[in-house]
A and B are shown apart, each in its own frame.
Chain A
Amino acid sequence: MSDPANHHTLSVLVENKAGVLARVAGLFARRAFNIYSLAVAPTDDERFSRITIVVDVEEKSVEQMTKQLFKLVNVVKISELAPSRSVERELLLCTVKAAPAVRGQVVELVQIFEGRIVDVGHDQLTLMLAGTPAKLDDFADLVRSFGIVELQRTGRVALPQLDRQAPRLRSVGKVS
Chain B
Amino acid sequence: MKLTGAQALIKSLEMQEVEVMFGLPGGCILPAYDPIIDSAIRHILVRHEQGAGHMAEGYAHVTGRPGVAIVTSGPAATNLVTPLCDAFMDSIPMIAITGQTNRPQIGTDAFQECDTVGITRSVTKHNELVMDPQDIPRVVREAFHIATTGRPGPVLLDLPKDVLQGTMDWYWPTSVDLPGYKPTTKGNGRMIKEAARLISESRRPVIYAGGGILKARGAEALRELAELTGIPVVTTLMARGCFPDSHPLCLGMPGMHGNYTAVTSMQKADLLIALGSRFDDRVTGKVSTFAPDAKIIHVDVDPAELGKVRRADVPIVGDCRLVIEDLVKAVNALGGAAAQPDRSPWTSKLRGWQERYPLHYDPPEEGDALKPQFVLETLRDSTPDDTIVVSGVGQHQMWASQYWRFEHPYTWVNSGGLGTMGFAVPASIGAKVGRPDRLVWAVDGDGCFQMTAQELVTAAAERIPVKVAILNNAYLGMVRQWQEMFYEERYSEVYLSPDLPDYVRWAEAMGCAAFRVETPEDVQPTIDKANAIDDRPVVVDFRTDQAEKVFPMVAAGQSNDDIIVHPSQRSDDRKVVQ
Contact = CB atoms under 8 A, between A and B. Distances in A.
A112 interface: no
Interface residues of A, number: 22
Contacts of A48: 179
Interface string A43-80: 00001100000000000000110011011111111000
A73 B181 CA distance: 5
B338 interface: no
Given A63-B307, A70-B303, A73-B178, A18 B129 contact: yes
A160 B318 CA distance: 29
20 contacts: A18-B129, A19-B129, A22-B121, A26-B122, A47-B179, A48-B179, A64-B304, A64-B308, A67-B308, A68-B304, A70-B303, A70-B304, A72-B180, A73-B146, A73-B178, A73-B181, A74-B180, A75-B180, A76-B179, A77-B180
Contacts of A18: 129
B126 interface: yes
A76 B125 CA distance: 15
A90 interface: no
Given A18-B129, A19-B129, A71 B117 contact: no
A153 interface: no
Name which of A30, A71, A75 has the most chain B CB atoms within 10 A of its CB: A71
A67 B178 contact: no
Contacts of A14: 180
Nearest to A13: B180
A48 B178 CA distance: 12
By Cβ-Cβ distance, the 6 closest A-B pairs, closest first, are: A67-B304, A76-B180, A73-B126, A73-B181, A75-B180, A76-B179
Contacts of A72: 180
Contacts of B178: 73
Interface string B90-102: 0000000000000
Interface of A: 14-15, 18-19, 22-23, 26, 30, 47-48, 63-64, 67-68, 70-77
B302 interface: yes
B180 A26 contact: no
A47 to B, nearest CB: 8
B436 interface: no
A24 to B, nearest CB: 11
B501 interface: no
In the complex, which range does the number of interface residues on chain B fall in? 10 to 19
B153 to A, nearest CB: 10
A22 B127 CA distance: 12
B162 to A, nearest CB: 17
A75 B179 CA distance: 8
A26 B308 contact: no
A23 B122 CA distance: 8
A67 B122 contact: no
Contacts of B302: 71
B118 interface: yes
Given A67-B304, A73-B126, A26 B121 contact: yes
A171 to B, nearest CB: 22
A2 to B, nearest CB: 24
Nearest to A77: B180
A160 to B, nearest CB: 20
A164 to B, nearest CB: 31
Interface in B301-319: 302-304, 307-308
Nearest to A66: B304
A70 B179 CA distance: 12
A14 B118 CA distance: 18
B118 A22 contact: yes
Interface in B178-229: 178-181
Nearest to A60: B307
Contact of A19 (B117, B180, B304): B117
Contacts of A63: 307
Given A73-B180, A73-B181, A74-B180, A67 B121 contact: no
B304 A71 contact: yes
A14 B179 CA distance: 9
Nearest to A67: B304
A67 to B, nearest CB: 4
Contacts of A64: 304, 307-308
A50 to B, nearest CB: 13
